[in-house]
Structure 1
Amino acid sequence: MERNKKETKPSQYRTAKFYEIILFSTNNTATNFYNFMMGFVTYYAVGVAGLAVFLISTLLTAMRIFDGVVDPFIGYVIDKTDGKFGKFRPYIWIGNLTMIGTIVLLFQTTHLVPENFRLYYFLAVYAVYILGYSLQTTVTKAGQNVITNDPKQRPLFSMFDGIFTTLFYSTAGIYVSNYLSSKYNGEFGLDFFTEFSTTFMVGSLILTVLATIGIWKKDRTEFFGLGAENQTDNIKFKDYAKIVKENRALQMLTLAASTDKLGSKIKSNSISGVLFFGIIIGDYGLMGALSAISILPGIFFNVFGSMIARKLGQKRTYVLAQSSAFLVNGLMMLVVLMGDPTKISLSNPNLMTVLFVGLFILATVQNTGDAMQISMISDVTDYETARSGAYVPGLIGTIFSFVDNFFSSFSNSIVGFVIAMVGYTNTLPEVGDASTPLLILLGIGLYLGGPMLGWLCSMIAMRFYPLDGKKMEEVQAIILERKEKGLITEDIHEVTDEFAVIKAEI
């Protein structure tokens, strides 16, 4: 029979305390501290450790692929975990402490290793760092599922995550471009990286404590999928392939997010920022100033987007944010190409300044889409539980990460290859380098064009993503039906027919 609104059981939704959503959303920002920091690792590897530009860019790409390869194994371990300290909390801390140890080794000892072994040492430490980073980021994607399944609350995770992400990246940009760069005379030396890494490790550690508090009460068996202790006992690692093959929502979301990520990683690469602001515009400090100016608008778009998602669903809101960002970036590209970017100045404002700054602020609408991706993973996890009875948030999160990392791993190589082609083979672009027509095109292409290509691909993928607001109501009703009937998967290869029967009944 078909359920109407009066027949929908309130118990099909698991709500959360407001503070739980707020605090756990800081886990993503805790790992963003390291993500941002490692965007500068090329400068350390080349300028301090003395490694070659293209070589290190290529190897960093390989390490990103390694990150993606180990992710599914991490997800499998998390899915099989259900102990005294929960499913997620142990991996938050193992991940964060591993990153602390490896970052200290990476930035404080690599340059001291004999030259013949330096590259191997760097890669070995970096590989262990990746394991720690993958552990904590997987918890962000997988752990939020237990906090709430209420369609009115899930977008709140995106909202707060977006707010914290906006605040972090804006203040981090100011910290580096205005404070550290000025303090160390624009040089990315050992002292720069010592202060940089220490500050960021402490910040990440504090947020990790807060995230642990946020998930503490929900990190229990009764909140895992169907609330049964044996719901993943019969799921083997080889069964993951079938889940991925049959879960269209997972396929399309990972494709959309990975192309987004590739574009954003190209833009956020420190070299792209130096090219665009330090050379094309001629004012590297402007990047930090604009980041500060765009904090409040970025927060506004996140809050506004969350409110829309509560009414229209996460899918429609995501597409709206990405299409808006695509349009704004396209207009910004035209302004820079058709005008004189060196006239952009906050101290001496003019028409170019007004147009560019206005569009830069509007472009923060992209933060809404970026944040929405993570909470959409929870929808995909619930879809799989409804479809098969299997609660595999680790799998869903790490498959997402695997494809995401595979695509985004090429960002360093793309940037490294591009600048090597114009003559930067043993050095990197520096603030104040002479601007040429070729560098202008490259800077605009990397900083603005890269994200646009990613958004275009993600919008196409979303056309085939099935989980709109109406579909998610159906999914939660199916999960409730499974709980009441005790339908836990015994054979992953029979789940499709079982899913169809339950769907027909409700």
Structure 2
Amino acid sequence: MKLTLREKTSYGIGAVSKDLVYSLVAGFLMYYYNAVLGISATFIGVLFMAARLFDAFNDPIMGVIIDKTKTRFGKFRPWLLIGTIINAGVLYLMFSIPTHLTGNELLIYASIAYIVWGITYTMMDIPYWSMIPSITEHGKDRENLAVIARSSAGLGFAIPVALTMLLVPILGDGNERLGFSRFSAIIGVVFIIGIIITSFNVKEKVKAGQKNPKVKEMFQALIRNDQALVVVVAIVVFNASLYLTNQLAIYFFRFDIGNAALFGIFGTIGGAAQIVSMLFIPLLRKKFNAKSLFIGGIFTTIFGYGILFILGTLNITNIIFLSIAAVIIFIGFGIATVLTTVFLANSVDYGEWKNQHRTESVIFSLQTFVVKLASAFSVLIAGVGLDLIGLDVNAPVQTEATLLGLRMLMVALPMVGLLISVLFFMKFYRLSEDKLDEISEDLKVRRETEKAAKAGVY
């Protein structure tokens, strides 16, 4: 059965709303903890790394719990709603730390809030992405749904980037601490509304009909799913590289460019370019296969980073030139991001075809597991790096050495990571279009045979 416009739109709304939250935390929590609350960057880096490591090991467990869940609403939607409601509340508390807390009390509150936020976000995020193979079994529908979801997520991610540093001073009447609290409340409410719309309009349709394997059997199946692991490794390095830039961008615009509000313009233009590139993927897929587009997308992003590095080296801080770099970076990022979801969904079919087990939640949780593992070290590098280069958030002007170090952290390291990612993917990914068609046909026959056998037709 083909997906309806209502289903596609509702799934996209969920992506917008959840990435509003993720963008606010990923792009501004370090800044909030460091520049607003005065917590040291190194402590934040260590905290974020520890929390991500803890959360990463929680992801596969969540995937198993989802796979074992059986309700009349399906196995994904209950967790989607529960995780969203709790996470929205924790988001507000995380950006509303009481002013009387100082010293160790402040550090304890900030640490607990961030760890709990990560756990509850996992409760919502894994079922959201794991739903794709269960919503439709048609490859093209999955690809289109992934495009819609990633495009919508790009929009959701871009909104806080564009508006946070503009609205926070207004909402807080010049008080950043109060402004962040009120802004997080608004984001949380929109988040809940968006996921409710998704949960009530998107149904799970594809049921593989396999027995529930033991946890050990699930992980053994994942180890044997070599193509899922190839995709996940590429995703790890790819996302970790970009996450490093995302953590440091607000510092770059505040201290190097000299105007934190310009980060909103940079992010808006880049986000718009990302969304446009995502929307053009169905058209591009008519001329190029998914693997070629993914490789081209990453090399495009690397090229954009190269331009940004040159601009920084030559001290060219004009927003027009910076925006050109942003457009190139985000176009490549948008294309590659959508296709990683497509590759992962395809690897679910490959795993079922090869191992006789369809464990989409475990595979998708493996993605978040290793991404969080890699991003844990990225955020540690960002936090410790800020202290090592001597950045002082209270100083009106930074030294040239500090600014150079900031550019190296934000641009040079991600370029190296992206190059490693694309070279690895080029060498080891082998699910061609023809191979996927063969797998799809084999699975269709297998499911029909199993259905007939259960009905007593031999």
Q: Same fold (TM over 0.5)?
A: yes
Aligned twin of 2:339: 372
Deviations 1:296-350 (A, max 9, x none): 433321122232235544332222211111122212322332x3324x15xxxxx
* Contact 1:155–1:314 (Cα < 8 Å) also in 2: no
SS of 1:409's equivalent? helix
Aligned twin of 1:474: 438
* Contact 1:386–1:482 (Cα < 8 Å) also in 2: no
Amino acid at match of 2:126: T
* Contact 1:28–1:137 (Cα < 8 Å) also in 2: no
Amino acid at match of 1:80: K
SS of 1:396's equivalent? helix
Q: 1:53 to 1:327 in 2, by over 3 A?
A: closer
Q: 1:367 to 1:186 in 2, by over 3 A?
A: farther
In the alignment, does 2:45 pair up with 1:57? yes
Deviations 1:361-383 (A, max 9, x none): 22221112122222322111111
SS of 1:25's equivalent? helix
Write the distance in 2 (CA, Å) between the matches of 1:66 and 1:99: 17
For 1:486, which of 443, 450, 453 is the aligned residue? 450
What pairs with 1:284-433 in structure 2 (closer than 5 Å)? 284-309=260-285, 312-337=288-313, 339-342=314-317, 344-345=318-319, 353=320, 355-365=321-331, 366-424=333-391, 429=393, 433=396
Q: CA deviation at 1:435?
A: 4.1
For 1:268, which of 240, 246, 260 is the aligned residue? 246
Q: CA deviation at 1:111?
A: 5.0
Amino acid at match of 1:258: V
Write the distance in 2 (CA, Å) between the matches of 1:49 and 1:440: 23
Deviations 1:428-465 (A, max 9, x none): 536x8324322332232233234323321221221211
Write the distance in 2 (CA, Å) between the matches of 1:277 and 1:109: 25
Aligned CA-pair RMSD: 2.6
In the alignment, does 2:87 pair up with 1:94? no
SS of 1:284's equivalent? coil
Q: CA deviation at 1:466?
A: 2.2
* Contact 1:15–1:149 (Cα < 8 Å) also in 2: no
Q: 1:166 to 1:442 in 2, by over 3 A?
A: same
Write the distance in 1 (CA, Å) between the matches of 2:396 and 2:251: 9
Q: 1:100 to 1:298 in 2, by over 3 A?
A: closer
Deviations 1:223-248 (A, max 9, x none): 12x3x2xx132x11011331122111
Aligned twin of 2:214: 236
In the alignment, does 2:20 pair up with 1:33? yes
Q: 1:371 to 1:285 in 2, by over 3 A?
A: same
For 2:184, which of 197, 218, 242 is the aligned residue? 197
Q: CA deviation at 1:485?
A: 2.3
Q: 1:214 to 1:268 in 2, by over 3 A?
A: farther
Number of aligned residue pairs: 449
In the alignment, does 2:62 pair up with 1:74? yes
For 1:442, which of 391, 405, 427 is the aligned residue? 405
Q: 1:128 to 1:169 in 2, by over 3 A?
A: closer
Aligned twin of 1:215: 202
* Contact 1:318–1:368 (Cα < 8 Å) also in 2: yes
Deviations 1:5-64 (A, max 9, x none): xxxxxxxxx532233223213333332222222233334434565544322320111000
Write the distance in 1 (CA, Å) between the matches of 2:421 and 2:77: 32
Q: 1:128 to 1:282 in 2, by over 3 A?
A: closer
Q: 1:440 to 1:38 in 2, by over 3 A?
A: same
Gaps of 5+ in 2: 453-458
Write the distance in 1 (CA, Å) between the matches of 2:310 and 2:35: 35
* Contact 2:33–2:44 (Cα < 8 Å) also in 1: yes
Write the distance in 2 (CA, Å) between the matches of 1:275 and 1:115: 24
SS of 1:153's equivalent? helix
Amino acid at match of 2:251: L
Q: TM-score, normalised by structure 1?
A: 0.82
Q: 1:104 to 1:281 in 2, by over 3 A?
A: closer
Q: 1:179 to 1:121 in 2, by over 3 A?
A: closer
Q: 1:208 to 1:264 in 2, by over 3 A?
A: same
* Contact 2:171–2:183 (Cα < 8 Å) also in 1: no
Write the distance in 2 (CA, Å) between the matches of 1:47 and 1:364: 27
Aligned twin of 1:283: 259
* Contact 1:31–1:204 (Cα < 8 Å) also in 2: yes
Q: TM-score, normalised by structure 2?
A: 0.90
In the alignment, does 2:415 pair up with 1:452? yes
Q: 1:26 to 1:409 in 2, by over 3 A?
A: farther
Q: CA deviation at 1:184?
A: 5.0
Amino acid at match of 2:397: A
SS of 2:96's equivalent? helix
Write the distance in 1 (CA, Å) between the matches of 2:252 and 2:170: 18
Amino acid at match of 2:281: G
Gaps of 5+ in 1: 1-13, 346-352, 489-506
Between 130-139 and 292-301, report the one with greater CA deviation.
292-301
Write the distance in 2 (CA, Å) between the matches of 1:110 and 1:97: 22
* Contact 1:144–1:375 (Cα < 8 Å) also in 2: no
Write the distance in 1 (CA, Å) between the matches of 2:439 and 2:229: 17
Select the structure of larger CA radius of gyration. 1
